[in-house]
C-alpha cells in the first residue's frame, strides 16, 4: 500500500501517470494538468538523489509498489522491473537519449514503448557550447587563476600558443544541424560568427531548410536562416570534405550508431591539422563517437604543432572518467559530466513534453490538454504551455533509425522498430526492441502535425486499454491509391498522383527487403546519367530529393512495411507488418513499386561472416575500419560490380574482381576504368566456393579457376556481392502473372498487370533496363494509367461502393469488371 508519506496523498484507481524525478514537483503545472483531466490522476515521486548519482547507480530508486496501476511512467534514468509494473505501457524518458536505460530488463525484454523528450535541451546545450568557446577565447580560466594569485593585469598575450581574439567572423562548423545544432547556430550568429551547417540530406531551398520539429519558443533556427553555407552527404568522404573547409570552431552533434562509432579519430584530427586553423573542438554527441586517445594527442600537440587550440567535451569515453585517466591533465579542455537541462524553469519544460504522449493517445485534440491557447498560436504570456503546441513534422521518425542518420544504418540496427509520433509538438521516438514484437502504431511522416482533430476518439470505449486505443486508431482506413515502394518509380508515381489530387499514401517500408527506404539508389555513389545533374549526384541525395518532392505535393509517406495483400476483390485489402491479425486497410488501386534486392551466393561460411566481412553494399559498408587498407574482393562482372570495386579502391589496399566468364559485362567506359585502375586485379574465369575466417571476421576466400579446376585461398578481409537482383514480388506472385524469374508481367506498353487496378512500375517488372530513369518513367506511366482508371470508374459510380470480384487472367490483359465499378 502506497501511503501519503510517499506521494503526499493516497493512490486511487484513477492513477495512470507516475512521474519520478530528482527535483521537487513543479506544482503549478501538475495542478493545471490535474484540473484539466480530473479522470487521469498524475502522481509525483521525488528521487532523493543527485541526477548524476541516479545515472551512475544501479538498482531501484522508486518503490516497486508505486507501479501497480501505472500505465505511463515519466522518468529520468530509472526503469522499473517488468514484474513490478504489470499495466505499464509507455515510459517517457526525461532526456533526448536512451543510452542510460538500454541495459534494463524492461527496455530489453518487453514491448513497452519508450519515448524521449526531444527538443527541450537545446537552449542549455547551446549556452554551454558557446560559453566554453567564449571562456577559452577570452581566457576566463586564466583570469580566474590570476585572481586566486592576487595578480593584477590584463595583458595575457598568447596563452598556450592561443592569442586572445573575439568571435566575429570566426567560422563555426556544426555537424549536424538538428534541433540542438540550430540552437547553437542562433547564439553563434548573434555573436557575429559565420555559421556553416551540415545535414544528412541537401537543403537547396528555403523550404527544405525549415525544421518543423519541436523547439523552445523564441530560440533556435526553425527557418534555417543563419547558416552562410550548407553542406550535406552520407559517408566519411563527405564528412572529411566538411572538415577540410577549415573551421575555427567545430561542433560535433550526431547520434551513436554502428557507423558513427569512433567517427572522429586519427584521420579526422589529421585533416583538422592540415587546414591550419587550429580549431576549437566541441563534442556534444552521446557515446564513444570520438577516439579519446587521438583527441588527447591533438590537444597535447596544441597550436604550436598544429593541433587543437582547445576543446569542450560534454561527453567523454569512458564515462565516468577514471581518476587516473590522462585526459584529466590534457591542456585547454575543461571536463564535466553530461549537461543535464534540469535547472528551473527548464524542469517543467522537460516534464510537460514528456507527459504529452498521454495527451497524444488519450486526448487527440490539443485543446483538451492545454486549454486557453490555440495550438497554432501559443501565448507569449505562457511560455511553458507554448512549448507544448504541435509544430513538428513526424518525419523525425525515420530520421532516427531507418533512413536519416548521417550514415545509412547497418543491418545490425534493423532489429529495432522505430515508429515516430508527434506528441503535440514534441517529436518522440517510440522503439520496439525486437522484430517479433507487434507494431502498435504507424505514423504519417509527411503531415505537419499528425494530430487528429476530434475528441473523444470515435469508437473508443472507456474500458479499452491504452494499447487497444493505439491500435484501434490505425485500423480500417481506405484510400484511393496505395503505392508500395520507395524508389524512383514509387516517388514519381506519388508526385503525379498527388498533383492529380488523388491523395496517395506511400508505404516506403522499414528495411524492406533488407534495404533502407529509397531502394537501390541508397547504395549507389555518384549517379552520372540522371538528367538534370550535369555534375552527377549521390544516389541517397537523389532519393531524398524525390522524397521531398513527393511530400511537397501532398503524398502521405508511412515508414512501415506492407506484409500481405489480398487482390481477390476490390477494394483491395492489405496488412502492415506485425499487424496481420488486425482488420485490413483497403485501397481502390495499388501501384506496386517494390523493386528488387541484391542476390547472394550462400557460400559455406557466408552466414557466419555476413556483415562481419561480407556485404552486398560496398557504399554502405566499405568505409568501416575492418576494410580499411585491407585486400577486398568483389564478385560480379557488370556495371554494379565495376562501380563497387572502384568505390572500394578508396579504402582497400587492393581490390580483386571475380568474373565467372572470360570478359566483363560492364559498359565499355566502366570496364576501361576498372581494368586501368592500379589497385584493381580482375580474375577472369573465377568463382568463389567458400568463405573462411578467424571466427569473428572474414580472412580469406576460396576461389576456383573454372578452366583448370584448381582452387586456392585468396587472402581478403572483405567480400562484396554485385551479382544482380531478385524482384520483390513475394507479396503478389501467387495472385498475378509473373515470369519465370519472378518479375511481374505487364501488358506491353503499359504498367497494367493481370489484375485490374494493380499497376507495376520500376525494377519489379523491368529486368532489361533497370535504370533509375526508366524506373521513374514507368512510375509516371503507372500514375497516369491509375488516374485514368479511377476517373473512368468514378464517372460510373453509384451512391454506395460495390464490391467487385477481380479475376486473375493468364493472358496478361486486365479483366473487365462484371459489376458496377466501386467508388
Q: Alpha-carbon distance 641 to 619, whole Å?
A: 12
* Residue 405 pLDDT grade (very low, low, confident, very high; cuts 50, 70, 90): very low
Of 406 and 98, the structure prediction assigns the larger pLDDT to: 98
Q: Which pLDDT does position 160 carry in this prediction? A: 52
Cell numbers linked to 731: 507479396
798 counts as catalytic: no
Q: How confident is the model at residue 385 (pLDDT cuts 50, 70, 90)?
A: very low
Please name the residues in contact with 287: beta carbons below 8 A apart, sequence gap of 6 or more.
Answer: 99, 256, 261, 315, 317
Phi, then psi, of 539 in degrees rounded to 5 = -55, -50
Catalytic residue among 91, 388, 620, 786: 620
Q: Which of 512, 513, 522 is nearest to 544 (CA)?
A: 522
The runs of H, that is alpha helices, within 501-570 are 539-552
What is the phi/psi pair of residue 105, to 5°?
A: -65, -40
**Spatial CB neighbours of 305, under 8 Å, sequence gap ≥ 6:** none
Handedness of CA 657, 663, 668, 672 (dihedral sign): positive
Query: Which residues are 569's β-sheet partners?
Result: 805
Q: Nearest CA to 55 among 85, 97, 1, 18?
A: 97
* Helical axes 140-148 vs 122-137, angle rounded to 10°: 60
Using only the alpha carbons of the chain, give its radius of gyration. Answer: 29
Max avg pLDDT among 114-118, 420-424, 558-562 = 558-562
Q: Find the largest Cα–Cα distance for the chain.
A: 98
What is the predicted pLDDT for the residue at 317?
86
Domain 122-329: CATH class, spelled out: alpha beta
Q: Give, as one character, the DSSP assignment of residue 96.
A: S
Q: Which residue has the higher pLDDT, 46 or 490?
A: 490
Tell me what the mean pLDDT of segment 78-97 comes to: 83
Three cell numbers, residue 717? 578481409
**Predicted TM-score of the model (pTM):** 0.48
- Per-residue pLDDT, averaged over 316-330, amounts to 88
780 is catalytic: no
Q: Which position among 221, 248, 314, 621 bears the catalytic label?
A: 621
pLDDT of residue 430: 36
Q: How far apart are CA 655 and CA 547, in angstroms?
A: 34
Q: Average the pLDDT over 342-349 and give the result.
A: 54
The pLDDT score that the predictor gives to residue 473 is 41
Per-residue confidence (pLDDT) for residue 441, from 0 to 100: 29
| Residue 787, pLDDT score | 97
Between CA 338 and CA 676 the distance in angstroms is: 51
Q: To 10 degrees, the CA torsion angle through 758, 761, 763, 768? A: 110
Count CB neighbours of 792 within 10 A: 10
Q: What distance lies between CA 495 and its chain's CA centroid?
A: 23
Question: Which residues pair with residue 687 across a beta bridge?
Answer: 704
Per-residue pLDDT at 811: 44
pLDDT at 79: 86
Distance from C-alpha of 670 to C-alpha of 664, rounded to nearest angstrom? 10
With cut-offs at 50, 70 and 90, classify the pLDDT of residue 23. Answer: confident
CA distance 616 to 515: 10
Strand, helix or coil for residue 174: strand
Instruction: Please give, one letter per residue, the 3-state secondary structure of 387-403.
Output: CCCCCCCCCHHHHHCCC
Helix axes 668-676, 639-648, angle to 10 degrees: 30
Torsion angle of the four alpha carbons 544, 548, 549, 550, in this order, in degrees rounded to the nearest 10 = 100
Q: What is the DSSP letter of 822?
A: P
Sign of CA dihedral 511, 513, 515, 517: negative
In the chain, ranges of CATH 3.40.50.720 domains: 4-120+343-469, 122-329
Q: 3-class DSSP state for residue 370?
A: coil
| Res. 305 pLDDT band, cuts 50 70 90 | confident
Q: In the numeric block, which cell numbers belong to residue 65?
A: 509498489
Taking 70 as the threshold, does the pLDDT of residue 361 lie above it? Answer: no
Residue ranges of alpha helices (H) inside 276-428 are 292-301, 346-362, 366-369, 383-386, 396-400
CB atoms within 10 A of CB 303: 18
Mean pLDDT within 452-473: 35
Cβ count within 10 A of residue 479: 18
- The arithmetic mean of pLDDT across residues 318-341, rounded, is 82
Task: Report yes or no: 131 and 125 within 8 Å, Cβ to Cβ.
Answer: no
Q: What is the pLDDT of residues 160-206, one digit of tens each?
A: 555 667 899 999 999 989 888 999 999 999 999 999 999 988 888 88
Report the 3 state secondary structure along 54-78: HHHCCCCCCCHHHHCCCCEEEECCC
Tell which wins on pLDDT, 5 or 204.
204
Coil vs helix vs strand at 580: coil
- Provide the pLDDT for residue 689: 96
Rounded Cα distance, 538 and 546, in Å? 13
> What is the structure's pLDDT at 693?
94
Query: According to DSSP H, which parts of 87-235 are helical?
Result: 105-109, 122-137, 140-148, 179-190
Query: What average pLDDT does the segment 41-63 reach?
Result: 67
Tens of pLDDT, residues 703-756? 999 999 999 999 999 999 998 778 999 999 999 999 988 999 999 999 999 999
| Helix and strand counts by DSSP (H, E) for the chain | 22, 36
What's the mean pLDDT when you consider all of the chain? 76
Q: Report the pLDDT value the prediction gives residue 9, as an integer from 0 to 100.
A: 38
Please tell me what DSSP assigns to residue 752: B
Which grid coordinates belong to 180? 540542438
Q: Point out which residues pair with 715 in neighbouring strands.
A: 700
CA distance 1 to 16: 16
- β-sheet bridge partners, residue 87: none
Assess whether pLDDT exceeds 90 at residue 280.
yes
Distance, in Å, from the CA atom of 67 to the CA atom of 17, rounded to the nearest integer, reads 9
Q: Is pLDDT of 2 > 60? A: no
Nearest to 447 by CA among 606, 558, 320, 368: 558
**Which residue is catalytic, options 91, 388, 617, 786?**
617
CATH architecture of 4-120+343-469: 3-Layer(aba) Sandwich (3.40)
Q: Is the pLDDT of residue 1 over 80?
A: no
Instruction: Note whether 333 and 312 are within 8 A (CB).
Output: yes
Please, which residues bridge with residue 282 across strands? 251, 312
Domain 624-638+648-723 adopts which CATH fold? FAD/NAD(P)-binding domain (3.50.50)
Average pLDDT, stretch 210-216?
A: 75
The three-state DSSP-derived secondary structure of 151-171 is CCCCCCCEECCEECCCCCCCE
Q: What are phi and psi for residue 426, nearest 5 degrees?
A: -105, 115
CA atoms within 13 A on the CB side of 204: 7
Q: What is the pLDDT of residue 129?
A: 93
* pLDDT > 70 in the chain, percent: 71
Lowest mean pLDDT among 107-111, 227-231, 502-506: 107-111
pLDDT of 767 above 70: yes
Instruction: Place 342 in a pLDDT band, splitting at 50, 70 and 90.
Output: low
Q: Over the stretch 621-640, which tens digit does the pLDDT of each residue have?
A: 787 788 999 999 999 999 88
Strand pairing class (171-175; 162-163): unpaired
The answer to whether residues 269 and 255 touch, using CB atoms and an 8 Å cutoff, is no
Q: Of the candidates 229, 219, 286, 220, which has an alpha carbon nearest to the alpha carbon of residue 253?
A: 286
For residues 717 and 691, is the Cβ–Cβ distance under 8 A?
Answer: no
Compute the average pLDDT of residues 466-471. Answer: 40
The three grid cell numbers given for residue 79, joined into one nine-digit string = 526503469
Which residues are 682's β-sheet partners? Answer: 657
State the pLDDT at residue 466.
38
Q: pLDDT (tens digit, 9 = 90+) per residue, 511-533?
A: 656 566 777 777 665 677 899 99
Residue ranges, comma separated, of all CATH 3.50.50.60 domains in the chain are 475-598+727-805, 624-638+648-723
Over residues 335-354, mean pLDDT: 57
Average pLDDT over residues 654-683: 94
pLDDT reading at 459 higher than 70:
no
Give the SS3 label for residue 640: helix
d(CA 29, CA 102): 30
Cβ neighbours of residue 670 closer than 8 Å, sequence gap 6 or more: 639, 642, 643
Least reliable range by pLDDT among 497-501, 600-604, 615-619, 628-632: 615-619
The CATH superfamily of 475-598+727-805 is FAD/NAD(P)-binding domain (3.50.50.60)
Q: Which residues, in sequence order, are CB contacts of 120 under 8 Å at separation 6+?
A: 96, 214, 216, 341, 346, 349, 350, 353, 387, 426
Express as a percent the part of the chain with pLDDT over 90.
40
Answer whether the bond into residue 151 is a cis peptide, omega within 30°.
no
Structure confidence at residue 170 (pLDDT):
94
Asked whether 554 and 805 are in contact (CB, 8 A), the reply is no
Q: Which range, of 113-127, 128-142, 460-474, 773-787, averages the lowest pLDDT? A: 460-474
* C-beta of residue 638 within 8 angstroms of C-beta of residue 722: yes
Average pLDDT over residues 604-616: 87
Q: Residues 201, 275: contact at Cβ < 8 Å?
A: no
pLDDT of residue 164: 66
Taking residues 210-226, report their average pLDDT. 83
Residue bearing cell 541517397: 540
Grid cell listed for 536: 552527377
CB of 347 closer than 8 Å to CB of 23: yes
Q: Is 621 a catalytic residue?
A: yes
Amino acid at each position: 500500500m502506497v501511503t501519503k508519506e510517499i506521494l503526499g496523498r493516497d493512490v486511487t484507481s484513477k492513477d495512470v501517470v507516475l512521474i519520478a524525478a530528482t527535483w521537487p514537483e513543479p506544482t503549478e503545472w501538475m495542478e493545471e494538468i490535474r484540473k484539466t483531466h480530473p479522470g487521469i490522476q498524475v502522481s509525483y515521486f521525488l528521487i532523493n538523489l543527485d541526477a548524476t548519482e541516479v545515472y551512475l547507480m544501479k538498482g531501484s530508486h522508486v518503490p516497486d509498489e508505486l507501479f501497480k496501476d501505472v500505465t505511463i511512467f515519466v522518468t529520468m534514468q530509472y526503469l522499473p522491473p517488468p514484474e513490478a509494473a504489470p499495466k505499464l505501457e509507455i515510459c517517457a524518458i526525461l532526456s533526448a537519449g536512451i543510452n542510460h536505460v538500454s541495459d534494463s530488463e524492461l527496455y530489453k525484454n518487453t514491448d513497452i514503448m519508450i519515448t524521449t523528450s526531444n527538443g527541450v535541451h537545446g537552449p542549455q546545450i547551446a549556452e554551454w557550447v558557446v560559453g566554453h568557446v567564449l571562456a577559452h577565447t577570452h581566457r576566463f580560466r586564466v583570469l580566474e587563476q590570476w585572481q586566486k594569485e592576487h595578480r593584477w593585469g590584463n595583458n595575457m598575450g598568447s596563452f598556450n600558443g592561443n592569442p586572445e581574439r573575439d568571435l566575429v567572423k570566426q567560422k563555426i562548423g556544426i555537424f549536424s544541424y538538428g534541433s540542438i545544432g540550430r540552437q547553437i547556430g542562433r547564439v553563434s550568429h548573434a555573436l557575429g560568427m559565420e555559421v556553416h551547417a551540415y545535414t544528412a540530406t541537401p537543403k537547396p531551398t528555403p523550404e527544405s531548410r525549415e525544421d518543423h520539429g519541436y523547439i523552445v519558443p523564441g530560440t533556435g533556427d526553425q527557418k534555417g536562416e543563419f547558416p552562410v553555407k550548407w553542406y550535406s552527404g552520407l559517408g566519411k568522404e563527405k564528412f572529411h570534405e566538411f572538415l577540410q573547409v577549415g573551421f575555427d570552431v567545430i561542433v560535433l552533434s550526431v547520434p551513436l550508431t554502428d557507423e558513427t562509432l569512433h567517427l572522429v579519430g586519427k584521420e579526422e584530427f589529421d585533416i583538422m591539422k592540415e587546414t591550419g586553423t587550429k580549431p576549437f573542438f566541441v563534442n556534444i554527441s552521446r557515446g564513444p563517437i570520438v577516439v579519446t586517445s587521438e583527441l588527447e594527442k591533438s590537444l597535447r600537440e596544441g597550436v604550436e604543432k598544429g593541433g587543437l587550440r582547445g576543446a569542450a567535451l560534454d561527453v567523454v569515453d569512458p564515462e565516468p572518467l577514471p581518476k587516473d585517466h590522462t585526459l584529466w591533465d590534457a591542456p585547454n579542455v575543461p571536463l564535466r559530466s553530461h549537461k543535464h537541462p534540469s535547472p528551473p524553469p527548464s524542469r517543467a519544460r522537460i516534464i510537460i513534453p514528456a507527459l504529452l504522449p498521454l495527451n497524444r493517445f488519450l486526448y487527440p485534440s490539443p485543446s483538451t490538454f492545454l486549454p486557453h491557447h490555440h495550438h497554432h498560436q501559443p501565448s507569449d504570456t505562457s511560455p511553458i504551455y507554448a512549448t507544448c503546441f504541435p509544430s513538428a513534422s513526424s518525419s523525425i521518425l525515420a530520421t532516427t533509425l531507418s533512413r536519416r542518420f548521417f550514415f545509412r544504418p547497418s543491418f545490425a540496427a534493423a532489429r529495432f522498430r522505430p515508429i515516430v509520433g508527434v506528441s503535440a509538438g514534441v517529436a518522440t521516438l517510440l522503439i520496439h526492441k525486437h522484430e517479433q514484437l507487434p507494431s502498435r502504431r504507424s505514423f504519417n511522416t509527411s503531415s505537419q502535425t499528425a494530430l487528429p482533430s476530434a475528441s473523444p476518439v470515435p469508437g473508443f470505449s472507456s474500458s479499452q486499454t491504452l494499447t487497444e486505443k493505439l491500435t484501434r486508431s490505425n485500423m480500417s482506413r481506405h484510400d484511393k491509391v496505395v503505392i508500395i515502394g520507395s524508389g524512383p518509380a514509387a516517388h514519381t508515381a506519388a508526385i503525379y498522383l498527388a498533383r492529380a489530387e488523388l491523395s496517395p499514401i506511400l508505404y516506403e517500408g522499414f528495411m524492406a527487403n533488407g534495404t533502407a527506404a529509397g531502394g537501390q539508389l541508397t547504395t549507389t555513389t555518384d549517379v552520372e546519367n540522371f538528367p538534370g545533374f550535369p555534375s552527377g549526384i549521390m544516389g541517397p541525395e537523389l532519393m531524398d530529393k524525390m522524397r521531398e518532392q513527393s511530400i511537397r505535393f501532398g503524398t502521405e509517406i508511412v515508414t512501415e512495411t506492407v506484409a500481405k495483400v489480398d487482390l481477390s476483390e476490390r477494394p483491395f485489402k492489405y496488412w502492415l507488418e506485425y499487424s496481420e491479425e488486425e482488420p485490413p486497410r483497403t485501397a481502390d488501386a495499388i501501384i506496386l513499386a517494390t523493386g528488387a534486392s541484391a542476390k547472394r551466393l550462400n557460400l559455406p561460411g557466408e552466414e557466419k561472416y555476413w556483415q562481419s566481412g561480407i556485404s552486398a553494399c560496398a557504399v554502405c559498408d566499405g568505409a568501416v575500419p575492418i576494410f580499411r587498407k585491407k585486400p577486398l574482393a568483389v564478385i560480379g562482372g557488370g556495371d554494379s560490380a565495376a562501380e563497387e570495386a572502384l568505390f572500394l579502391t578508396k579504402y582497400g589496399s587492393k581490390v580483386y574482381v571475380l568474373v565467372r566468364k572470360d570478359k566483363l559485362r560492364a559498359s565499355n567506359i566502366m570496364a576501361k576504368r576498372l581494368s586501368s585502375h592500379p589497385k584493381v586485379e580482375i580474375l577472369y574465369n573465377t568463382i568463389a566456393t567458400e568463405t573462411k575466417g578467424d571466427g569473428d571476421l572474414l580472412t580469406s576466400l576460396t576461389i576456383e579457376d573454372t578452366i583448370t579446376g584448381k582452387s586456392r585461398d585468396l587472402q581478403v578481409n572483405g567480400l562484396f556481392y554485385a551479382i544482380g537482383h531478385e524482384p520483390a514480388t513475394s507479396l503478389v506472385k501467387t495472385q498475378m502473372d509473373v515470369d519465370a524469374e519472378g518479375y511481374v508481367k505487364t501488358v506491353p506498353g503499359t504498367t497494367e498487370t493481370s489484375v485490374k487496378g494493380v499497376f507495376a512500375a520500376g525494377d519489379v517488372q523491368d529486368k532489361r533496363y533497370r535504370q533509375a530513369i526508366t524506373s521513374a518513367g514507368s512510375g509516371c506511366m503507372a500514375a497516369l494509367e491509375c488516374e485514368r482508371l479511377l476517373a473512368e470508374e468514378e464517372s460510373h459510380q453509384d451512391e454506395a461502393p460495390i464490391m467487385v470480384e477481380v479475376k486473375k487472367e493468364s493472358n496478361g490483359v486486365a479483366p473487365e469488371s462484371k459489376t458496377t465499378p466501386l467508388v
